[in-house]
Structures are given as structure tokens and as C-alpha cells.
Amino acid sequence: MADDSPTLPAVSSAPPSAGGCVRPSKKHSDLTPWPQRYIAPSRAWPSARGAGVTVAVVDTGVDADGAPALAGRVTAGPDVVSGGTAGKDCARHGTFVARIVAAGQKSGVGSAGVAPDARILAVRVTGTDGTATADKVAAGIKAAVAGGARVVDVPIALTRGSAWLTSAVRDAVRHNVLVVAPAYGITDSSGAPTPAAYPAALPDVLAVAGLAPGGGPDQKAAPATAPDIAAPGTSLMSIGPGGSGNFSGSGADLATGFVAGTAAWWTATAPA
């Protein structure tokens, strides 16, 4: 299956090097992205669409007002780094992932989130440079659990963990909350994979690897942590903040959105 979005601006967890926030994309595509054709989440929608389930996206924030595909679906949780709330997304990464999880259906467009009736809880754990620490991610996971999330998507791969991060994951498990995270990340412009991937390396975290179009493994990055599951992670298309324009992206961090969305509709059907 071919790349559906070769000309779209690329997503990143870091803000522009020149400062400020990422500008809205002016490019649009009404094509059905290959992951929706490959995993066909719509086949599950007659039974479950994620209604009643909150998925926390613990990342750069989620654009709660300026992303039409997420209108009415986002609760702005805390910004554990700078204070305030996480209802804005300067870097666009969290909004990209949230759209994969729970974007609503739009007439004439063959794409929607995996769990289009789920709600998103935005929690920001990154600083102004787009980076995060283990303790800030831990605080984000704790905030997500306190906010009622049943699934916590942490699309971040850290080279080191911490005692507090381990404690936060254990606390999530005690509350019957699933934590999802990428089994690898990228450390620099050379494409070198991270030597470790936290929180995915911790017990009870569902570690996600990325798949290339057609379902083959991502040949550009070897997991730093043994993956538990794989999902589409290459040549993805989603939205960013500030409008309905599309962005493209690749990586296990983005693949977590498909797993978190699937967990949401599965949770919606599971016995209480």
C-alpha cells in the first residue's frame, strides 16, 4: 500500500526551531489512510465505538477548540510542567495522536478515529522545547488516572525511567487503567533509536512497535524494548492544531494511538 500523504507537513514533538508554535496545515486529503483500510476499525463500530471511555493523551497537549475533528471530544487536563491546562498544543504531536484515537466521522471523508465516540483527556508533560522527563511523565500518568481515564496513551520514549514513573504505572494498574507507550523512539536527526524506551520498558505497560504500509515491520527502527503489540506507524496522516489541515508522520509514538483507540472500544464492551 502506498503512502497516502507524501506532500503533507510532518509532525514532530518539538516546536519550530525558530520559536513560536507550529502553523496550521493548509493541505487537505480526503483519501482513506492506509491504516484505516488495513485494520478496518469500522468493522467493530456496530458493537463498540468507545462511548463512555476516556483516553488520556499524555504528551504535548491537545488542541481542544481549533481541531474540528475533535470538537466536543476533548477535556483539557493539567499541564504538569508549566501549570494551567493542556487544551492547546504548540507542537501538534498530541493533537495528531488524539485524532487517531477519537476523531469523529466526517461526511465524504473515509477516515475517523479508531474509537470515534471516546473522549480525550489532554495532559501536557513536555516543556517548551518538546522534551519530557520521567518524573513529569509520572505526574502526567497520575493526573490521567485521577481524571478518570481508562486508557493512558503516553506517545513518548525516554532513555531513563525513575522510581516515581514506576510508582505511577503501578498505581494505574491498581486502578485497572491500561498504559500504552512506544517500544522505541528517535534520539537524533540520524535516525538512531533510543537505547531504552520508558515507560514502555516497565512491567504492565503495553509496548507498541510500528508497522509499515501493508503490515510489515518498520525497517528503519529496531525496538529498544521488546514490543507487546504492533500497529500502523509509518506514513500516517492526521491533523494538527488550529484547523482541519492534515499532517503526516511516522513512528511507534504515533502507532500508540491505534492501540489506545482499540483499547477504548474494547473497554467499552468489557464487563464492568
Q: How many structural domains compose the chain?
A: 1
Q: Is residue 91 part of a domain?
A: yes
Q: Is residue 28 part of a domain?
A: no
Q: How many Cβ atoms from other residues are within 10 Å of residue 105's Cβ? A: 15
What was the pLDDT predicted at 268? 84
What was the pLDDT predicted at 186? 64
Q: Is residue 10 part of a domain?
A: no
Instruction: List the CATH number of the domain containing 217.
Output: 3.40.50.200
- Cα–Cα distance, 250 to 182 (Å, whole number): 12
Residues near 239 by beta carbon (within 8 Å), at least 6 away in sequence: 25, 67, 69, 70, 95, 96, 99, 103, 245, 246, 247
Q: Is residue 121 part of a domain?
A: yes
Beta strands 236-239; 246-249: pairing state? antiparallel
Domain that holds residue 211: 34-269
Q: Is residue 25 part of a domain?
A: no
CA distances from 147 to 62, 65, 138, 157, 244 (A): 15, 19, 14, 23, 27
Q: Is residue 192 part of a domain?
A: yes
What was the pLDDT predicted at 2? 43
What was the pLDDT predicted at 191? 59
CA atoms lying within 13 Å on the CB side of residue 74: 33
What was the pLDDT predicted at 42? 86
- Cα–Cα distance, 208 to 231 (Å, whole number): 7
What was the pLDDT predicted at 176? 96
Segments of the chain with pLDDT less than 50: 1-6, 108-110
Residues near 193 by beta carbon (within 8 Å), at least 6 away in sequence: 184, 185, 186, 187, 221, 222, 223, 224
Q: Is residue 149 part of a domain?
A: yes
Q: Is residue 18 part of a domain?
A: no
